[in-house]
């Protein structure tokens, strides 16, 4: 899949997940879910960076860099904006 396909699928799924979470557990549950998702993205970014720097002996892998910058970073920023808009 292309990065734009991944982002499109992800944004559609995120909307569904957020609506379900808010319906079941209210605003507090929605905020907790967003925080959990943000932490997981940071973990993936760290592991991918670790893989590039340590496991690939310092060589740069353009696929890793592209995925981190063009998929994970925008996803994290979206979650962060949504998280900051929620008031409890």
Please give the full DSSP string across 9-69, using - where no structure is assigned.
Answer: HHHHHHHHHHHHHHHHHHHHHHHHHHHHHHHHHHHHHHHHHHIIIIITTT---HHHHHHII
Residues 62-80 have pLDDT tens digits of 655 666 677 778 888 888 8
Considering the chain, what is the average pLDDT of its residues? 79
Residue spans of the domains in the chain: they are: 3-85
Best-predicted range by mean pLDDT (2-16, 18-32, 44-58, 64-78): 18-32
Read off the pTM.
0.59
Residues 34-47 have pLDDT tens digits of 899 889 988 888 88
């Amino acid at each position: 899949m292309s990065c734009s396909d991944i982002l499109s699928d992800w944004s559609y799924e995120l909307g569904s997940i957020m609506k379900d979470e808010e319906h079941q557990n209210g605003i507090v549950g929605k905020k907790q879910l967003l925080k959990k998702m943000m932490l997981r993205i940071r973990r993936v970014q760290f592991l991918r960076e670790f893989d590039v720097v340590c496991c690939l002996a310092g060589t740069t892998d353009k696929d890793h860099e592209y995925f981190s910058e063009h998929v994970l970073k925008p996803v994290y920023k979206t979650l962060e904006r949504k998280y900051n808009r929620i008031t409890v």
